[in-house]
């Protein structure tokens, strides 16, 4: 039995008040709060166990290295990777996607080659491909979602031509909550020799992810959404894709030897991890994924799905709220606008006065906003620690906002 009260007790920030009201944190799509075990791990790592990692011969360096490298196995387990050597550490999904753009796509794609994106991609999965368009003449092809926000995987596959080299696709929309059938896309693309990058930044926190089952060439996740520290993240890369990649950033750790005449690179995954890493951030992420696995990803998903269904039923009674993204199996993410004069920023400000934290704006999805003819929306995004009582507080705050602008 999922005990949400027990889960909530693990997150100290949830006990605080905002504007004199109990905090109702519904901005998890932007960044999740941290459990005490992660905070304790970070504190201990800095207070008792800190040193630079790799190549140190002293006790603290060996301890920090062991703690840091242990995270690779934890993330591999979390994503069900075949080997921890397929996990590359980074600062988050944005860096992971850029690493693929610079390290794999730029050396392997030429003018006229095509990359397929969906219209609901986050800017982090758009801008790096525009770099290739601007610098190398690569063509970006777009696939739209339907009125409900659903993405037909067959439409993605139908967009493939002999010039298509990559599909870069989200696993779950950070605005619509739409879940994408990335396994079907990966299977169809593989049959045509097309590589697939999956942006798992939003999906990995809401449901179990099995990279062997999905079989994408690249699958990126970000730590701060996984109840871990900001500045932490990882990307799973198939070994055969790693073999085709050039290093993205040069510096320490990613080399074996450096001389005046040349460089011998380290083996993957170290080949793609230059410089002093976010040591404590990654150790904290290891604790965060342990926490999620101990709670159970299936249990977390079931809890959030029940919150989604409860919120959908409540929103149905507000005929002046328009929700963007209405697929039945969506994640517990609600982008919405209010009929009348209220701008998303106005709504967010009023909700904040009631202690309800939501996001307002374009949510780093300019093409999606253009597709729906919107300039901005509010977004309430739920997490493992949210409750139906908090849904009620949110709905009451929306009714207040509506009354103020009526």
CATH number at residue 66: 3.40.640.10
Residues 50 and 179 in one domain: yes
Regarding whether 278 and 309 lie in a shared domain, the answer is no
Whether the CB-CB separation of 167 and 116 falls below 8 Å is answered with: yes
In a domain? residue 219 = yes
Q: What is the pLDDT of residue 309?
A: 98
Question: Is 388 within 8 Å of 142 (Cβ atoms)?
Answer: no
338 in the same domain as 309: yes
Q: Tell whether 220 and 323 lie within a shared domain.
A: no
Residues in the chain: 406
Domain end, chosen from 262, 294, 326, is at 294
Select which of 100, 150, 364, 398 is catalytic. 364
Please report whether residue 36 resides in a domain.
no
The phi and psi torsions of 281 (rounded to 5 degrees) equal -60, -45
* Average pLDDT value for the chain: 98
* Contact between residue 113 and residue 139 where contact means Cβ atoms under 8 Å apart: yes
Q: Are residues 357 and 395 in the same domain?
A: yes
Query: Is the domain of 338 the same as that of 307?
Result: yes
Please report whether residue 35 resides in a domain: no
Judge whether 364 counts as a catalytic residue: yes
Asked whether residue 277 is assigned to any structural domain, the reply reads: yes
SS3 category, 87: strand
377-381/333-338 β-pairing? antiparallel
21 in a domain, yes or no?
Answer: yes
Residue 366 and residue 237 share a domain: no
Question: Which pair of structure tokens corresponds to residue 189?
Answer: 């693309």
Burial of 308 (0-12, 13-18, 19+ CB in 10 A): buried
Task: Assess if residue 196 is contained within a domain.
Answer: yes
Q: Which domain holds residue 359?
A: 4-30+296-405
Same domain, 301 and 264: no
Are 276 and 162 members of one domain? Answer: yes
How far apart CA 7 and CA 303 sit, in angstroms, is: 11
Please identify, among 294, 324, 348, the residue that sits at the C-terminal boundary of a domain: 294
Q: Does residue 394 lie within any of the structural domains?
A: yes
86 inside domain: yes
Q: What are 343-386's pLDDT values in tens digits?
A: 999 999 999 999 999 999 999 999 999 999 999 999 999 999 99
Q: So what's the pLDDT on residue 226?
A: 98
Phi-psi group of 288: left, alpha or beta (phi > 0 → left; psi -120 to 50 → alpha; rest → beta): alpha
In this structure, are 120 and 259 located in the same domain? yes
Cα–Cα dist 38/285, whole Å: 8
Are residues 175 and 309 both part of a single domain?
no
CATH classification of the domain holding 20: 3.90.1150.10
- How many structural domains comprise the chain? 2
Q: State residue 382 phi and psi, 5-degree precision.
A: -100, 165
CA atoms of 280 and 41, how far apart (whole Å): 8
Q: At what angle do helices 344-353 and 388-405 cross, to 10 degrees?
A: 120
Q: Are residues 309 and 280 in the same domain?
A: no
pLDDT at 55 (0 to 100): 84
**Among residues 294, 323, 354, which one ends one of the domains?**
294
Question: Which two three-digit tokens encode residue 392?
Answer: 């009620």
* Ranges under pLDDT 50 in the chain: none
């Amino acid at each position: 039995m999922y005990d949400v009260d027990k889960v909530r007790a693990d997150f100290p920030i949830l006990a605080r008040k905002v504007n004199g009201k109990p905090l109702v944190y519904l901005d998890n799509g932007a960044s999740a709060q941290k459990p005490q075990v992660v905070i304790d791990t970070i504190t201990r790592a800095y207070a008792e166990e800190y040193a630079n990692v790799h190549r140190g011969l002293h006790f603290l360096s060996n301890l920090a290295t062991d703690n840091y490298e242990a995270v690779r196995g934890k993330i591999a387990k979390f994503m069900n990777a075949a080997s921890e050597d397929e996990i590359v550490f980074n600062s988050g999904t944005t860096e992971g996607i850029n690493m693929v753009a610079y390290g794999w796509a730029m050396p392997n794609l030429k003018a006229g080659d095509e990359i397929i994106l969906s219209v609901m991609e986050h800017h982090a999965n758009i801008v790096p491909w525009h770099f290739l368009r601007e610098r190398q003449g690569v063509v970006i092809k777009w696939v739209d979602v339907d009125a409900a926000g659903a993405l037909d995987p067959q439409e993605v596959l139908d967009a493939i031509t002999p010039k298509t080299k990559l599909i870069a696709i989200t696993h779950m929309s950070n605005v619509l909550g739409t879940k994408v059938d990335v396994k079907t896309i990966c299977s169809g693309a593989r049959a045509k020799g097309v590589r697939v990058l999956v942006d798992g930044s939003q999906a990995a926190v809401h449901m179990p992810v099995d990279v062997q089952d999905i079989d994408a060439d690249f699958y990126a996740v970000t730590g701060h959404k996984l109840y871990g520290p900001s500045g932490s993240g990882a990307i799973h890369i198939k070994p055969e894709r790693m073999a085709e990649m050039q290093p993205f950033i040069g510096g320490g750790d990613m080399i074996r030897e450096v001389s005046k005449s040349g460089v011998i690179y380290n083996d993957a995954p170290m080949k793609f991890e230059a410089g002093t890493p976010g040591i404590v951030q990654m150790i904290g992420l290891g604790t965060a994924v342990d926490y999620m696995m101990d709670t159970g990803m299936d249990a977390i998903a079931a809890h959030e799905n029940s919150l989604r269904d409860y919120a959908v039923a409540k929103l149905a009674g507000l005929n002046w709220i328009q929700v963007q993204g209405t697929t039945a199996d969506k994640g517990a993410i609600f982008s919405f606008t209010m009929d009348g004069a209220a701008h998303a920023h106005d709504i967010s400000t009023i909700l904040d006065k009631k202690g309800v934290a939501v996001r307002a704006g374009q949510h780093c999805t300019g093409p999606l906003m253009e597709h729906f003819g919107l300039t901005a929306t509010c977004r309430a995004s739920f997490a493992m620690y949210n409750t139906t009582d908090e849904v009620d507080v949110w709905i009451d705050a929306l009714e207040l906002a509506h009354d103020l602008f009526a």
